[in-house]
Amino acid sequence: MQINTLIIGGARSGKSNFAQKLALESGKKVLFVATAEAGDEEMRRRIEKHKESRPPSWNILETATDTGREILDKAGDEGVIIVDCVTLLVNNIFGRFNYQAGGQTGESPVEKEITREIEELIECMNRLKADFIIVTNEVGMDLVPANETGRLYRDWLGRANQQLAENADRVYLMVAGIPLLIKPDRNP
């Protein structure tokens, strides 16, 4: 039976480590989908450190956008697919539009693209027989961003997280490296 898991939490809460632990414990073949882009030297070092933490037997897919389509093209006989992370995926879309806030009304092109991206990822999850482990940041428990652009990003990521949580069988909230199951399996 396929189980889709969403792991959500703050920065440095242990989300990625927990996702990798779940994948290893499954004993299944893994496809690791990395969404990070090295925009500067510090980010490049973070990406390298992340790569070093993964088992060499895992298949890797690096994709900044079009994640659902890329997974469908790359996935083979993997039993587990980790997507790490939706936070950077939304950021990548945001950056491609070079978004500038300024009193827009209605749904913006950025929001439409984020919605399309998340819907395609959910469709991919529903089409493949693999277990999915999706990693994302919880952005609704922090301070309200000081500017409109920050608030819109928080809102769009928050809506993406809600869509993914609704379609997940189980959801874990990570706090200080401790996983808290907040949505148990629908079919235990």
Q: State the catalytic residues.
A: 50
Give the Cα separation of 11 and 122 in Å (integer).
24
State the amino acid at position 30 in one-letter form: V
> What are the DSSP calls for 118-160, one per residue?
HHHHHHHHHHS-SEEEEEEE--TTSPPPSSHHHHHHHHHHHHH
Give the Cα separation of 118 and 88 in Å (integer).
13
- Residue 52 carries which DSSP code? H
